[in-house]
Amino acid sequence: MHKHHSALGLATALRPVNPVTLIRPHAARRAARFFVEKFPGKTLYAVKANPSPDLIRLLWDSGVTHYDVASIAEVRMVRETLPAAVLCFMHPVKAEEAIAEAYFEHDVRTFSLDSMEELEKIVRATEGASDLTLCVRLRVSSEHSKLSLASKFGIAPSESKELLFAARQAADALGICFHVGSQAMTPDAYAQAMERVRQAIVEAAVTVDVIDVGGGFPSSYPGMEPPPLELYFETIHRAFESLPISYSAELWAEPGRALCAEYSSLVVRVEKRRGDELFINDGAYGALFDAAHVGWRFPVSLLREPDSRAKPMAFSFYGPTCDDLDHMTGPFMLPADVQAGDYLEIGMLGAYGCAMRTGFNGFGRAETVEVADEPMVSLYAAGTEEVASNVVTL
């Protein structure tokens, strides 16, 4: 893998024809240490956010020993990459064959579920194993999050009594898990979810050994500047301490975005300008899926020496494929004199960026280069300026 000192230096010196993924290992290490040292419980990395084996090894070296895997392919990959890691199969609906392989071949002992059918499947697939940690997923509100996860999975707290009781009988350790949605913008999201957990425990009258608050921990994007993560941790800890649970109960979390968003960015080239529309060489079928399909605004910067003195204006992007859906409305704020041949850095793509890339229409190839400069925005770097708009000073 090539290394370079900065995004700007790479763009000006190499002038790459294809998109370049920039990785910043120091940023991922910093995020991992932050969670390991400050979250008042156990940190499980949500592998789906970025399944790069290099990143997973880096997180392990930084103290993250538990991994939230959501498919048998992720189970196999993480087990091969980290033979000693603790794997937790946290998809609530799994193939019976996947459960059996995870349990018997990959030493997985923790499974999530949200129905009696899934509980019966787990018991059958593990041949009535007595060493299971079973986490019942509750459905909670996503009202405080930018992307909802309140529809597909989770049992309503009012309907959870029977499932919690049955899971308690089958489990060595019983857990309750939930997910407040992606990019939760206030700690209140977790406070409200924990109140639903309390209601479910009281109603079922079972001993609970694990409380897993899931993911949703935010990163910083234009127009989405969250409060400090310490406030989330404090809110969760207070709520956890007040729950009617086992004295030895464990607190878990499953950060994905918060651990890996700052790890990667993307350098793209402007191929054409049409008014306030820029045609770039990556897009909806590459690393910019979220920018196209859910209107996510990523920080952007013009990589040019000397710096442009033009006033910023709002642009939208078109990606390289022949599909009209390959469009990212933004707005992305860039100097008004940006033109074909210029290079842009698009930041905070370590989460769900490269992981979503396809080869549609013959595009999708991107070289990976390690750089030593800071990410465009950081929740962890002391003194790093956070973007209030899409304009980043180089």
Domain boundaries in the chain?
2-23+264-371, 26-260
Task: Determine the pLDDT at residue 1.
Answer: 64
Cis peptide before 25 (omega within 30 of 0): no
- Average pLDDT, 10 consecutive residues per value, the chain (394 residues): 86 93 97 97 97 97 98 98 98 98 98 97 98 97 78 88 97 97 94 95 96 96 94 98 94 97 97 98 93 92 95 97 94 97 96 87 88 94 45 33
Q: Which fold would CATH assign to domain 26-260?
A: TIM Barrel (3.20.20)
Amino acid (1-letter code) at residue 269: R
CA-to-CA dists, residue 79 to 65, 131, 361, angstroms: 12, 19, 33
- The tokens describing 354, both together, are 């490269």
- Asked if 2-23+264-371 and 26-260 have one fold, the answer is no
Q: What's the DSSP call for residue 294?
A: S
**CA distances, 336 to each of 106, 207, 208 (Å):** 54, 61, 58
Q: What is the pLDDT of residue 391?
A: 35
Please state, as a whole number, how many other Cβ atoms lie within 10 Å of the Cβ of residue 105. Answer: 12
Q: What is the pLDDT of residue 145?
A: 79
Distance CA 319, CA 328 (A): 8
Q: What is the identity of the amino acid at 281?
A: N
| First-last CA distance in the chain | 25
Annotated active-site residue in 88, 135, 260, 322: 322
Confidence (pLDDT) at 359: 86
pTM over the 0.75 mark = yes
Residue count (the chain): 394
In this structure, are residues 256 and 356 in contact, taking their beta carbons and an 8 Å threshold? Answer: no
Q: How far apart are CA 378 and CA 385, in angstroms?
A: 8
Give the C-alpha distances (Å, rounded to integers) separating 257 from 133, 336, 348: 25, 31, 9
- CA distances 393 to 19, 119, 172, 213, 332, Å, are 21, 53, 54, 36, 14
Q: How many CB atoms lie within 10 A of CB 208?
A: 22
What CATH number has the domain spanning 2-23+264-371? 2.40.37.10
Is the dihedral angle over the CA atoms 353, 354, 355, 360 positive or is it negative?
A: positive
The pLDDT of residue 383: 39
Catalytic residue status for 88:
no
Calpha distance 26→287 (Å, rounded): 21
